[in-house]
């Protein structure tokens, strides 16, 4: 299920018109009309967080804008930006987040890691805040700075994750779009113990050494994407997208036996799919 988390993130990032991060190349860059985009495709990505096994998997995503307020999915989380876009070059982005984390909630490919107990789905809620700067190189580009924060309220890892992100996106024309992003994750002690720790029972079941990690800086990630309209315009109809990212685990997360002995700190993702904008 962790694969779905990563894939859905890549899919929604490729939609050229969601929220404040990637305004579409409209004749009016301040357009506030209602819109809806759905996307589907496939990706090649890690079997679980820290794995060196990869699989192909399908995924889907959604984003839109109603009454000036944007909503969008990233991974298995749903975001709502409650501040409509203004008419100036600077916008504030604020709103709630709700979703689930399903890392290692089912069978994994690594035979040793699969001996560890299956984990519960984490139900996470939180919020995000940031700013978006428009019109730096043309009327339609956006440079955004944002921080997301979510906490587990379902009793799984009983901790929190904070993610600062910087992203830049711009259309090259009415038919193609590119963007790049750089982000990092900071996770609490509960997250580190739940997903990367090995207690005595785990060590007995798997043969891996006991490991008690601390939370903190978990990983950084760099992503790129490109989108090409298939029906003449990025603002409606079908769009083909390709995206890829590289992330690297750090600190105690990188040194966990499920990563250092059985997996890899380097995590790659590639995705290809089609979106449709109404």
DSSP 118: P
Nearest to 55 by CA among 109, 102, 113: 109
Note the pTM of the prediction, 2 decimals: 0.86
Structure token digits, residue 218:
């978990």
Could you tell me the CATH number of the domain that includes residue 32? 2.40.160.40
278 CB burial (10 A radius; 0-12, 13-18, 19+): exposed
CA 257, CA 263: separation in Å to the nearest integer? 8
Number of independent structural domains in the chain:
1
81: domain range? 2-277
pLDDT of the chain, 278 residues: tens digit per residue: 334 434 444 443 433 333 334 444 444 555 668 889 899 999 899 999 999 999 998 888 888 988 888 999 888 899 999 998 777 889 999 999 999 999 999 999 999 999 999 999 999 999 999 999 999 998 889 999 999 999 999 999 999 999 999 999 999 988 999 999 999 999 999 999 999 999 999 999 999 999 999 999 999 999 999 999 998 788 889 999 999 999 999 999 999 999 999 999 999 999 999 999 98
């Amino acid at each position: 299920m962790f694969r779905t988390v990563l894939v859905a993130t890549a899919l929604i990032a490729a939609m050229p018109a969601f929220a404040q991060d990637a305004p579409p190349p409209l004749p009016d860059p301040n357009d506030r009309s209602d819109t809806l985009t759905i996307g589907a495709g496939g990706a090649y990505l890690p079997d679980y967080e820290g794995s060196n096994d990869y699989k192909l998997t399908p995924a889907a995503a959604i984003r839109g804008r109603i009454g000036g307020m944007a909503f969008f999915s990233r991974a298995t989380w749903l975001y709502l930006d409650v501040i409509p876009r203004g008419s100036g070059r600077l916008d504030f982005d604020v709103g709630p987040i709700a979703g689930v984390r399903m890392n290692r909630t089912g069978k994994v490919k690594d035979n040793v890691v699969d001996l560890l107990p299956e984990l519960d789905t984490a139900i996470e809620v939180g919020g995000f805040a940031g700013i978006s700067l428009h019109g730096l190189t043309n009327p339609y580009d956006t440079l955004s700075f944002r921080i997301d924060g979510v906490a587990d309220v379902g009793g799984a890892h009983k901790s929190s994750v904070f993610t600062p992100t910087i992203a830049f996106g711009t259309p090259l024309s009415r038919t193609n779009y590119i963007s790049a992003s750089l982000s990092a994750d900071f996770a609490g002690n509960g997250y580190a113990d739940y997903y990367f720790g090995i207690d005595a029972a785990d060590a007995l079941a798997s043969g891996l050494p006991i490991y008690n990690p601390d939370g903190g800086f978990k990983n950084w990630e760099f992503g790129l994407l490109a989108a090409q309209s298939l029906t003449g315009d990025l603002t409606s109809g079908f769009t083909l997208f390709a995206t890829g990212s590289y992330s690297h685990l750090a600190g105690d997360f990188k040194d966990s036996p499920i990563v250092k002995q059985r997996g890899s700190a380097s995590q790659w993702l590639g995705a290809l799919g089609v979106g449709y904008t109404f």
